[in-house]
A and B are shown apart, each in its own frame.
Chain A
Amino acid sequence: MSKHFARKYLREEVLPSTFCPGCFNGIVINAFLKAVEELNANLRKVVFVSGIGCSSWIPSPHIKADSIHTLHGRAIAVATGVKIVRPDLNVVVISGDGDLASIGGNHLIHAARRNMDLLVIMVNNLVYGMTRGQASPTTPIGLRTTTTPYGNFELPMDVCRILEQTNANYVARWCISNFFKLKDSIKEAFFMRGFRFIEVYAPCVTYVVRYEGKTAGEKIKELFSTCIPRELVDKAPQGKKVIEVGVFKKEDKPGYIEMYSDYRRSIA
C-alpha cells in the first residue's frame, strides 16, 4: 500500500483537509512539496507565514513545519520581522490575492521595494473564497460574485506586472495547470536572495469554476490552453482570452538582509 508522496511532510491528524472538494490549494501544496523533495530541502529551516483566507491554510496546519498564521493582510510584515531576526531561516509566505494584494497591498509593495529576502507565493483564486465569494482586486471584468451580482465592472490589477516594476529579484506567474513549471519555479526561487514572488492562477472552484458550469478537472484542462507562455502571447488568436504565464523578471541583486548587514558594517 503506497502513500501519496506529500503525506510524509503533512500533519496527518488534520487530514482530510477542510478545503472544498477539488480546491486547487492542495495542488499548490503538492507542487511546493515536490520542489522540497527534489531540492532535498530541510523543512526544519523553513518558516511559513500566512494571513487569512483559504490559501493561507496551505501551510497552517497542513505542512509539518514552523508556521505563523497571522492577521489578514499582515503575513508579509510578520515574515519580514522573522527574516530580519533569523536570516538563517528560509521564510516563505503563502497567501491569497485578497490577503496579499488588497488589505496587504502596502506590505507587498514595500517588501518588493526593499527586495526583502522572502519567498511569497500568492494563490490567486480571483475572489475572496473563505468569506463566500466576494470580488477581489484580481476579479476579472464581468465575473458575477456575491458583491458584483450584476457582473464586476471594476478594473482588476495584474500583480505580477506591478511587482515587475519594483526592486524584486524574481517575479513569475503560473496557472494551477502548470504543475511542473510551478514546481520548477519554486525550486528556482527557493534559495535565491531578495524578494521572490510567484503567483499561482487558480480560480476558486466553489465561487468561480462552479458558476462556469465546470468541474475542477475540466477547469484544469481548459487552463492548459488558456495559459500561454509570455513569449507566445502575441501569437495567440485575436480576442482569445489568455492568461500570461512565465517569469516576468529574474535578477540576483543583494536582498535587504545583505544590504542591512553592509549598512551595519559601514558604521565605523
Chain B
Amino acid sequence: MREFISGNEAVAEGALLAGCNFYAGYPITPSSEIMHIMARELPRRGGNFIQTEDELAAINMAVGASIAGAIAMTATSGPGFSLMQEGIGYAIMTEVPVVVVNVMRVGPSTGQATKPAQGDLMQARWGRHGDQALVIYAPSSPQEALYITYRAFETAEWLRTPVIVLTDEFIAHGREVVEYDDLKPVKRRLQTKPEPPFGSEDPTKVPPLPPLGEGFNVMFTGSTHDEWGYRDVHRQDVHFRLVKRIWDKIWMNCKDLFLYEVYGDEKADVTFVCYGSVSRAVKSAVDMLRSREVRAKLLRLITVWPVDWDVLEKEIEGHVFVPEMSLGQLSFDIERFSKVRKINKVGGGVPIYPSEIVNAVMEVLR
C-alpha cells in the first residue's frame, strides 16, 4: 500500500494492522483524528469503539477490555496523558497489555493545544508513582509511526505491559507518502489451564494472561500481590519480588527493545542526540555540516525507554548537542556521558531549523 497520509492516520493504520479491536478515547487536540478513524473503522471490522466521558474512563475501559481479551488502545495528548497516569500504573502493576498514544503538544497545562512540543518525555517515563517501568517508542515521521505503532502492540503482548507511542503535532498533522505491507495481527497469549498469572521462577518468562469466564477464578488487583493474585500488603519479599520482576521484564530485555538509528559519520567530532520530529531538521543539519567537512553524526533514539546506555556510551563523542522542542529533558540523560549543549525551542509551532542547528555548531567549532 502507498498512501499520502498524516501521522495520526498512520498511527491508526498501524494499530488496525496490528489487530487492534478495541478503542476507548476522549477527544483532545492534536490526537482526535486517531479516534475518528477508529470510530469509522472498528465497527465496520467487528471491533469495539467507545467515546468516553473523560480520559480516566478511556484508559480504564481500555484496560478492562484488554483483561477481557481485546487488543486495546487509546490516544491522547498532554492534559489527557496526565489524567491517564494512574490507569497506566494499574496496567503496569497487573501486567495488562495496552497501547497509549501521546501526541505531544505545548504544555504545561492547557498550553498551546495545536502546537507541537517534546515536553512529556520524563512524564512518559516516570509519571506513575512507585517503582515501575514500561516501554516508550518515539517515531519521527508518519512512515515510521505506522510501523512503530504496530511494534508497540507486539511489545505490549510480548511483555504484558502498557506501551507508550510518543509523537507530536508535527508528526500527527504532517503528511507524507507512507508505504506499508500487510502485517500479521498480533496474537493474545492465553493460559490453557490455570497457572500463576503474576510471576514465574524465570524473570525473563512472562506468563500468558488468564482468560475470563473459564472458571480460572482469576484475581486482578492493583495492590501488591503474589503469583496467584492474592493481595499481600504485609510481606516485604512478596512486594520486592513483584516490582523487581516487572522492572526487570523491561530492563533485562533492553537490547531487544532499544531501537535507534545512527546517521552520518561513524566517527564524528559532533554528535547530535535527539528523538521525534526534531530528528528531521537534525538530519538536514548533519548533511549541511558534512558538506562543510565537519564530521557529524546523529544518534536518533526510536525507543526512549528503556535506554541501552552502552549504545550512548559508544556513540557519543566530540561536541554533543541535544536539540529538543522543550527546555531540555533528554539532555539530562546525555549529560551523564558528556558536556551537553542544548538546542531548545518550544512554543508557537515554530520548528528548530537546520540552519539554527548548524549555526549553534559552528559557534562552538570556531
Looking at the assembled complex, report how far the CB atom of B216 sits from the nearest CB atom of chain A, in whole angstroms. Answer: 7
A64, A74, A85, A267, most chain B CB atoms within 10 A: A85
Could you tell me the distance between the alpha carbons of A45 and B212 in the complex, rounded to whole angstroms? 8
A191 at interface, CB cutoff 8 A: no
Are B57 and A110 in touch, CB under 8 angstroms? yes
Are A71 and B60 in touch, CB under 8 angstroms? yes
Are B53 and A81 in touch, CB under 8 angstroms? no
A contact set with B: CB distance below 8 Å = 11, 14, 44-45, 47, 49, 60-61, 64-71, 73-74, 77-82, 84-86, 88-89, 106-107, 109-110, 260, 263-264, 267
B50, B60, B215, B222, most chain A CB atoms within 10 A: B60
Are A84 and B217 in touch, CB under 8 angstroms? no
Could you tell me the distance between the alpha carbons of A162 and B58 in the complex, rounded to whole angstroms? 24
If A84-B65, A86-B68 touch, whether A264 touches B212 (CB-CB below 8 Å) is no
Are B72 and A89 in touch, CB under 8 angstroms? no
Are B57 and A79 in touch, CB under 8 angstroms? no
| Interface size class, chain B | 35 or more
Could you tell me the distance between the alpha carbons of A14 and B230 in the complex, rounded to whole angstroms? 9
Interfacial residues of chain B within 327-365, with CB under 8 A of chain A in the complex? none
If A61-B230, A84-B48 touch, whether A110 touches B53 (CB-CB below 8 Å) is yes
Residues in B with CB closer than 8 Å to A49 are 64
Looking at the assembled complex, report how far the CB atom of B289 sits from the nearest CB atom of chain A, in whole angstroms. Answer: 50
Could you tell me the distance between the alpha carbons of A73 and B57 in the complex, rounded to whole angstroms? 10
Residues in B with CB closer than 8 Å to A84 are 22, 48, 50, 61, 65
Nearest B residue to A56 via CB reads B221
Looking at the assembled complex, report how far the CB atom of A167 sits from the nearest CB atom of chain B, in whole angstroms. Answer: 14
B108 at interface, CB cutoff 8 A: no
Contact of A74 among B56, B70, B72, B218 (CB under 8 A): B56
B contact set with A: CB distance below 8 Å = 22, 24, 43-44, 46, 48, 50, 52-54, 56-57, 60-70, 72, 86-87, 90, 212-223, 230-231
Nearest A residue to B66 via CB reads A81
Are A82 and B222 in touch, CB under 8 angstroms? no
9 A-B pairs with the lowest CB-CB distances in the bound complex, closest first: A81-B64, A78-B64, A77-B60, A81-B65, A81-B61, A69-B221, A85-B68, A110-B53, A74-B60
Residues in A with CB closer than 8 Å to B70 are 81, 85
Residues in A with CB closer than 8 Å to B217 are 11, 64-66
Contact of B219 among A60, A88, A110 (CB under 8 A): A60
Could you tell me the distance between the alpha carbons of A61 and B221 in the complex, rounded to whole angstroms? 10
Are A44 and B50 in touch, CB under 8 angstroms? no
If A67-B218, A71-B222, A264-B43 touch, whether A77 touches B213 (CB-CB below 8 Å) is no
Looking at the assembled complex, report how far the CB atom of A249 sits from the nearest CB atom of chain B, in whole angstroms. Answer: 22
Nearest B residue to A44 via CB reads B215
Nearest B residue to A106 via CB reads B53
Residues in B with CB closer than 8 Å to A77 are 52, 56-57, 60-61, 64
Q: Is the interface of A mostly helix, strand, loop or mixed?
A: helix
If A79-B64, A81-B61 touch, whether A61 touches B231 (CB-CB below 8 Å) is yes
Are A85 and B222 in touch, CB under 8 angstroms? no
If A74-B60, A267-B43 touch, whether A82 touches B86 (CB-CB below 8 Å) is no
Complex A-B: 7 CB contacts under 8 Å: A66-B212, A66-B217, A68-B220, A78-B63, A81-B62, A106-B54, A110-B53
Are A69 and B57 in touch, CB under 8 angstroms? no
B22, B218, B221, most chain A CB atoms within 10 A: B221
Given A70-B220, A71-B86, A84-B22, list of 9 further CB < 8 A pairs?
A: A44-B213, A68-B221, A71-B87, A77-B52, A80-B57, A84-B65, A89-B212, A110-B53, A264-B43
Could you tell me the distance between the alpha carbons of A86 and B6 in the complex, rounded to whole angstroms? 33
Could you tell me the distance between the alpha carbons of A11 and B56 in the complex, rounded to whole angstroms? 32
Residues in A with CB closer than 8 Å to B220 are 67-70
Nearest B residue to A77 via CB reads B60
Could you tell me the distance between the alpha carbons of A88 and B69 in the complex, rounded to whole angstroms? 13
Residues in B with CB closer than 8 Å to A88 are 213
Are A45 and B64 in touch, CB under 8 angstroms? no
Looking at the assembled complex, report how far the CB atom of A263 sits from the nearest CB atom of chain B, in whole angstroms. Answer: 6
Are B213 and A81 in touch, CB under 8 angstroms? no
Could you tell me the distance between the alpha carbons of A250 and B213 in the complex, rounded to whole angstroms? 28
Are A80 and B219 in touch, CB under 8 angstroms? no
Looking at the assembled complex, report how far the CB atom of A162 sits from the nearest CB atom of chain B, in whole angstroms. Answer: 15
Are A47 and B213 in touch, CB under 8 angstroms? yes
Looking at the assembled complex, report how far the CB atom of A29 sits from the nearest CB atom of chain B, in whole angstroms. Answer: 16
Could you tell me the distance between the alpha carbons of A179 and B33 in the complex, rounded to whole angstroms? 51
Contact of A86 among B87, B212, B222 (CB under 8 A): B212
Residues in A with CB closer than 8 Å to B68 are 47, 81-82, 85-86, 89
Nearest A residue to B218 via CB reads A66
Residues in A with CB closer than 8 Å to B64 are 49, 68, 70, 77-82, 85
Residues in A with CB closer than 8 Å to B54 are 106
Could you tell me the distance between the alpha carbons of A80 and B53 in the complex, rounded to whole angstroms? 12
Looking at the assembled complex, report how far the CB atom of A84 sits from the nearest CB atom of chain B, in whole angstroms. Answer: 5
